[in-house]
Amino acid sequence: MSGTAHVSIDAIRAARQRAANIVKTTPLDLSATLSTLCGRQIYLKLENLQKTGSFKVRGALNKIQLLDAVSRARGVVTASAGNHAQGVAYAAAIAGAPVTVVIPAFASFSKVAATIGYGAEVVLEGRDYSEAYARAVAFAAERHASFVHAFDDPDVIAGQGTLGLEILEQLPDVDTIVVPVGGGGLIAGIVSAVRGAGSGARIVAAQAVGASALAPSLASGHRVELAAVDTIADGLAARAVGALPFEIIRNALERAVEVTDGEIAAAVLLLLERAKTVVEAAGAVGLAACLAGHLPADAQRVVVVISGGNIDMNLLDRIINLGLVHQGRLVRFNTQLPDRPGALQRLVTCIAACGANIHQIAHERSRPGLPLTRAAVTIELETRGPDHIVELERALRAEGFEVESATPRDRTPISVPE
């Protein structure tokens, strides 16, 4: 283990004993489709099937079970964007400890409802995790309760490390493990387990571009705190990696990579379509990194940690649409037509001849700045992929339509095997 900070393999093994008959040993599935796409064996470690829907229950359970009877009676407090909240609430219920969770005000409604369902008192406060955390720490002091940190705690990290032990038992010859990173507790636990067990498997950290504090921290040699975070992967929306996780992982990673929200959405969509697996955006970040080509060139047996599946159904629709755009299967065009009978029909006929399907269409005759003889049209189409979009644009221009794409093109197409 690099540096002076560490979590011992003995602590991780003891955490696993405490979790026996409570925490699930989740499946490790080899995906033929994803292996073909990535050119190597891709195994999915499905923590979305864990109790409470994510890996977070592992660390929360270990921390709370280590509290003495007096501390349990005083209760526990935590801050979370959702998954850790559910893990702490579930673990506290098992231990018979009262629990209060401070959740950012704009957190997923489904995660808030689930946390309440596990018996927690929920306080909605703060714009993001960092502000919720500050309130939770103050709240714990006021009540003389134990604070259960989401990632910057050795007992929590030891609990998360049990996932690393499972991976090594399920695939002893794994050579690369890809882990989504927010505050860093999960990857610190996996690094501790893998290195403590004597495995040489490489660890790749994956973050969302809009919440990427790890890469600049590694580059500068000290923790960097972001001014703000902005990503669909709300479970990774920490402004900084925790102090203890950073010390554990800073010299132990193969690489730290970033993926865009479009790449994350495409990974969520791919898991839905081909793996029949519901995964939240944060849980799909590791797979997004693989699909974007961020694996080491010689990686052959790759485990991708699918860290959670607690996705808000209202958000899922938006993520699917973003994923379709990223894959070139949904595109939006702007154009202008002569404001006379038959003009719109001519446009629609051309689109139909190209085999595209109209998803939505908006026809305006009174837009500010629009000539009285023209009509503005915005049309959203279902397409087969980027090549089909190019074919469609050429056909429209050949028929005299001036089209402007309103869809971003900075995407890497994913060709999914049949």
pLDDT, one tens digit per residue, over 90-103 is: 999 999 999 999 99
Q: Across residues 162-178, what is the average pLDDT?
A: 98
Q: What is the pLDDT of residues 203-247, one digit of tens each?
A: 999 999 999 999 999 999 999 999 989 999 988 988 999 999 999
Name the pLDDT band for 416 (thresholds 50, 70, 90).
very low
Rounded to 5 degrees, φ, ψ at 206 are -125, 130
Residues sharing a CB contact under 8 Å with residue 405, sequence separation 6 or more, in sequence order: 331, 332, 333, 334, 389, 393
Which helix (H) or strand (E) is 409 found in, with range? none
Q: Which of the four pLDDT bands, split at 50, 70 and 90, describes residue 414?
A: very low
Give the pLDDT score at 413: 43
| Beta bridge pairs of residue 405 | 333
pTM score of the predicted model? 0.86
Count Cβ atoms below 10 Å from residue 92 Cβ, excluding itself. Answer: 28
End-to-end distance of the chain based on CA atoms, in angstroms?
44
CB 333 within 8 A of CB 404: yes
For 124-128, what is the mean pLDDT?
87
Q: Which residues, including other chains, have CB under 8 Å from residue 146's CB and lie 6 or more apart?
A: 67, 71, 74, 75, 76, 77, 140
**Over 80: is that where the pLDDT of 417 sits?**
no
By C-alpha distance, which of 205, 190, 200 is closest to 157? 190
Strands 99-103 and 121-124: parallel
Distance CA 261, CA 320 (A): 11
**Is the confidence at residue 3, as pLDDT, over 60?**
no
pLDDT exceeds 60 at position 410: no
| Rounded Cα–Cα distance for residues 213 and 207 (Å) | 8
Instruction: Give the pLDDT band of residue 408 (cuts 50, 70, 90).
Output: low
CA 397 – CA 416 distance, rounded (Å): 29
pLDDT at 415: 41
Which H/E stretch holds residue 267? helix 261-274
In what order do the strands lie in the sheet containing 301-306? 28-31, 41-46, 301-306, 176-180, 202-208, 255-259
CA distance 383 to 332: 10
Q: Are the CB atoms for 81 and 42 separated by under 8 Å? A: no
> Quick one: tokens of 38?
């990535």
pLDDT at residue 2, as a whole number: 45
Mean pLDDT of the chain: 92
Residue carrying structure tokens 């309760």: 145
Cβ–Cβ contacts within 10 Å for residue 403, how many? 18
- Nearest Cα neighbor of 379 from 338, 347, 411 is 347
CB atoms within 10 A of CB 225: 12
Mean pLDDT computed over 343-366? 91
What's the rounded Cα separation, in Å, for the pair 380 and 318?
15
Going by C-alpha positions, the residue among 150, 133, 139, 56 that lies closest to residue 98 is 139
* Three-state SS annotation for 369-404: CCCCCEEEEEEEEECCCHHHHHHHHHHHHHCCCCEE
pLDDT tens-digit series, residues 254-298: 999 999 999 999 999 999 999 999 999 999 999 999 999 999 999
- Predicted local distance difference test score (pLDDT) of residue 407: 65
Domains with residue ranges and CATH for the chain: 9-55+153-324 (3.40.50.1100), 57-147 (3.40.50.1100), 329-405 (3.30.70.260)
Interval 300-329 mean pLDDT: 90
Q: How far apart are CA 307 and CA 179, in angstroms?
A: 8
Q: Are the C-beta atoms of 152 and 185 separated by less than 8 Å?
A: yes
Residue whose token pair is 């269409």:
361
* Residue 4 confidence (pLDDT): 55
User: What's the pLDDT tens digit per position in 47-63?
Assistant: 999 999 999 999 999 99
- For residue 170, pLDDT over 50 is answered with yes
Tell me, rounded to whole angstroms, the distance of Cα 230 from its chain centroid.
12
Place of tokens 């964007």: 81
> What pLDDT was estimated at residue 412?
45
| Residues near 418 by beta carbon (within 8 Å), at least 6 away in sequence | none
Tens digit of each residue's pLDDT (9 = 90 or more) over 361-399 = 999 888 888 888 899 999 999 999 889 999 999 999 999
Contact 213, 238 (CB under 8 A): yes
